[in-house]
Amino acid sequence: MAETISDTKSIVFAGGGTGGHLLPGIAVAEQLVALGQCRITFVGSNRSVEQQIIKSSGYQHLPLPSSSTSDLKRAPFRFLWNNSRAFFRTRRFLIREKPAVVIGLGGFASVPVVLAASRLKIPIVLLEQNTVPGRANRFLFPLSNLVCTSFAETPFEIKMTRKTVIPEIVFTGNPIRKEIVQAVSQKEKSTTPSDKTSILVLGGSQGATAVNAAVISMLEEYLDKISGPLHMVHQTGILDFSNIEQKYELLRERHPNLKVTVQPFFNDLKNWYLQADLVISRAGATTLAELASVGCPTVLIPFPGSIGDHQLKNARFYADRGAATIALQSKESDSTVRLLGETITALLEEDERRRQMRQSMQEISIPGAARHVADEVIKLIAR
């Protein structure tokens, strides 16, 4: 029998900056609220995408002026100043709020919050979404009480001393939001086929210029080779939106039957998951978990600059299980476009292969991950 929260607790989620870090936290928050009275606060960065995601979820948000490690070399004073301000502002907030637990979501914005929680002896949980732990979680690991991983293979290392207390590590899967889990049953009930083949393009919550450019170039070269009408649904990110929108307009002038839906960021992404015949995406762990839940055949373009090459390792995990195929981003853009075009045109002609990929995706999915994490958090609070 699952434990519940018997009286009102304050629970703080630390970190963010991108949807990949925030959305698993929102999924866990939904489950904690369902299990009892609790007051949820997200403490993280002041990035606009984070504020947009938290605002749409309805939770309280405390933005902090923290800086990533990329600032450490190019702007060390700003790095120290912002993170010091974030630490002391968080410390004051935690003293006032008295949370039962702080849940670190990874990313640079989680560091000052978890450090402040550690100094105040507040229990700490870390969520690790990727096959390879991020720098923030590796740094914070010795301070934590519990780490919930999305992959059973995720390695954590710690230097042992006589005073070392090893955190508990639990494989839970990557938490996904209720609306995505519920979308699975909607998809199973949907029997109305579309007259257009739908391709969903995702570059992550911040967009990916290289993915955007490769998709446009691929369409310019391969659109005539794709049989039947096509609907491109493209999440560009804010910076690239105007440029990509204009390029789609030029494509539509030459291909009037091409339908296009292009936005910087989709708040209703689950609806596009349901309609997608094929997805082109970066290989962020949270996006992959959501695609697996709905069962979307996917072509993955791992970000070559990801820490520890974790996106390539995420992609290989799915590709090795027949759930996705990989189109590596080459330094020569023509090679990327050619590989992407050949992969897309082949998959659109192979209905059975896409069906098998869809099935393999759903076999990887762990729809109860958010509830599992919430149960582990409640057990930690009750100790």
Binding residues for UDP-N-acetyl-alpha-D-glucosamine: 18-20, 130, 177, 205, 311
Residues 6+ away with beta carbon under 8 Å from 283: 300, 301, 302, 303, 311, 312, 314, 315, 318
Q: What residue ranges of the chain have pLDDT lower than 70?
A: 1-7, 67-72, 159-164, 186-193, 204-207
pLDDT for res 265? 86
Q: Name the helix (H) or strand (E) containing 154.
A: none
What does the alpha-carbon distance between residue 340 and residue 220 come to, in Å, rounded to a whole number?
12
Per-residue model confidence as pLDDT tens digits over 323-337: 999 999 988 878 899
Binding residues: 18-20, 130, 177, 205, 311
pLDDT for res 267? 80
pLDDT for res 1? 44
What does the alpha-carbon distance between residue 234 and residue 294 come to, in Å, rounded to a whole number?
18
Provide the 10 A C-beta neighbour count for residue 348: 18
Phi-psi region of 204 (alpha: psi -120 to 50; beta: other; left: phi over 0): left
pTM score of the predicted model: 0.89
Q: How many residues does the chain have?
A: 383
CA distances from 80 to 66, 75, 86 (A): 9, 9, 10
3-state secondary structure of 144: coil
Report all structural domains of the chain as residue ranges with CATH numbers, in order of start.
Answer: 5-176+367-382 (3.40.50.2000), 179-364 (3.40.50.2000)
